[in-house]
Amino acid sequence: MNERAPRPRILIVDDLPGNIKVLAELLKDEYDISMTTNGQDALRLAQNNHPELILLDIVMPGLDGLEVCQRLRADARTRGIPVIFVTGQGDTEEEAQGFSVGAVDYITKPFSSPIVRARVKTHLGLKLAREQIEKSNQEIRHLNDNLVAVLSEQKKANDLLDRANQFIRSTFGRYMSEDVVATILDSPDGLRLGGEKREVTVMMSDLRGFTLLSERRAPEEVVMMLNRYLEIMTEILLDYQGTIIEFMGDGILALFGAPISRPDDPQRAVACGLAMQKAMTRVNAENRRQGLPEFMMGMGLNTGMVVAGNIGSDKRTKYGVVGSAINLTARIESLTVGGQILISDATAKACGPILTIDQSWEVMPKGVGRPVTIHQVSGIGGHHALQLPKPDKITLQPLARTPALLVRVMEGKHAGLSGHLGTLVALAPPLAEILSDLHAERLTNLQIELLDDAGDPLTSPLYAKVLTEDEGDGRQTIHFTSTPPEAEQLFQQWLAAEKGPGSS
């Protein structure tokens, strides 16, 4: 009977027991966990117990994480233990300090279970692979002293290297595209910094209203919803051979065409986007089952040239891309409403006549400097044969009592200083018709405040996108992209009042 292999040991260090509990719960099924709340105990446990990996909080009283990491690197007994820092969301200064003292990676709070598990597994895999490769190298050096045994011993070294490569492949394969793993293993330069020009199709997606909701829900619910969404979308992306570059909160950046280029990259990217949109039904069904809110996803696709390669430093490297094609994709994605896929003209031409295009129009994205034609896609033919369900026809309900509005144009992530008074004249969430002197262009992002008779805000701000041009009468149809719960309740009251007493 074979003995069961010992489980890797992980040391969790954080001065907040709640953070330790969350991380331990995520990892306890696969690893042996030890934990402490201070730096001195962390050094003692690392020296005596020799964990395979340490999750280390940076900000702690007394001996902080940076000093602990420095001492670990200075001690021959602990020098080889990889350290992943735990830091606050978006704290780039802490991340830079962490890499400067020898950390191999970082994870941010609040914790995302796919990211925590993937990064832990990745760095444990790299550590084991390095140890196995070093062992192989030692054996190979020994062979040079004994030419008679070179052939047989070389086979043993190759077998060890093959096992190390297989371990890397299975470890990275859960988080990265198989193409990235294959490039790292098969190319002699796979782990060198550098890049190459590639024509790729870039995908960016984002959940509408998730940021506002995350500020109003318990952290555990936010992480649960985000993890469910990312796990389902990751599965689909890898099925369509996409390369996941980044999870940006509730956003996803992915590539089709790098590091491996295929003739059908644009078509496969569009088919993947359609499959992801259809899968939102599955995401929302599970949210409803647990009494959680539903979401809609917007997605932009663009085809163009980028520079792709291993980007970073000796301490931390990841496969990434740069180029104007990325920026244009972000602009296109920002024009979408929930449930919509918009693609550039370059992607449409690359796909050919197999696409179902609902409408096309010309826009002038900020920072691009030239008009761009975009297309709304709802289906693809050929062997993919995917079609989004046709949306129900929405009839706007005119309002007898038209609530007052204050409308501002969004400038990036901030509302402009100049406001325009208007009224809400018809409603059928998430659509509405407003009357104002704004005359905004189609797809303009708006911030809207509902006002009472005294001109004071009734709710937190709403956010919307303009769907129709002003034809001269000041009326424009808008699509709400983020609506606070108190505004949704007001909408229901106003619509019920229009239907009269006894309406359901």
Domain-located, residue 143: no
| Residue 488 and residue 350 share a domain | no
pTM of the model: 0.62
Residue 167 has a pLDDT of: 47
| Residue 234 and residue 363 share a domain | yes
Note whether 260 and 183 are within 8 A (CB): yes
Domain-located, residue 176: no
Sheet of strand 105-109: strand arrangement: 32-36, 9-13, 53-57, 83-88, 105-109
Domain-located, residue 304: yes
Domain-located, residue 160: no
CA distances from 485 to 209, 338, 482 (A): 11, 17, 10
Residue 27 has a pLDDT of: 93
| Residue 409 and residue 349 share a domain | no
| Residue 459 and residue 416 share a domain | yes
Find the CATH number of the domain harbouring 95. Answer: 3.40.50.2300
Q: Which of 70, 90, 111 is the last residue of a domain?
A: 111
| Residue 479 and residue 383 share a domain | no
The angle at the Cα of 327, spanning 269 to 189, to the nearest 5 degrees, equals: 70
Contacts of 433 (CB under 8 A, 6+ apart): 396, 424, 425, 426, 427, 475, 476, 477, 478
Domain-located, residue 208: yes
| Residue 329 and residue 352 share a domain | yes
Residue 172 has a pLDDT of: 45
| Residue 251 and residue 217 share a domain | yes
Q: Which of 111, 142, 161 is the last residue of a domain?
A: 111
| Residue 423 and residue 378 share a domain | no
Domain count along the chain: 3
Find the CATH number of the domain harbouring 466. Answer: 2.40.10.220
Q: Which residues pair with 312 in a beta bridge?
A: 317
Radius of gyration in angstroms for the set of CA atoms belonging to the chain, rounded to a whole number: 27
| Residue 22 and residue 94 share a domain | yes
Note whether 309 and 195 are within 8 A (CB): yes
Distance in Å from the first CA to the final CA of the chain? 67
Domain-located, residue 142: no
Q: 274: which 2 tokens?
A: 């359609």
| Residue 436 and residue 344 share a domain | no
| Residue 82 and residue 52 share a domain | yes
Q: Which residues pair with 88 in a beta bridge?
A: 109
Domain-located, residue 153: no
Give the residue from 218, 177, 458 showing the smallest Cα distance to 319.
177
Give the domain range for residue 431. 397-499
| Residue 419 and residue 345 share a domain | no
Across 257-401, the runs of DSSP E, i.e. the strands, are: 297-312, 317-322, 341-344, 355-363, 372-380, 386-387, 397-398
Q: 419: which 2 tokens?
A: 């406001």
Domain-located, residue 193: no
- Mean pLDDT, consecutive 10-residue stretches, the chain (504 aa), reads 75 92 91 94 93 92 92 91 82 74 85 85 83 74 58 58 51 51 57 72 90 77 89 93 86 90 95 97 92 90 90 67 91 91 97 96 80 95 94 87 92 84 93 91 90 92 88 88 88 84 52
Note whether 330 and 251 are within 8 A (CB): no
Kind and range of the H or E element at 256? Answer: strand 251-256
Q: Which of 72, 93, 111 is the last residue of a domain?
A: 111
Q: Which residues pair with 374 in a beta bridge?
A: 344, 361
Q: Give backbone dihedrals phi and psi of 44, rounded to 5 degrees, phi first.
A: -65, -45
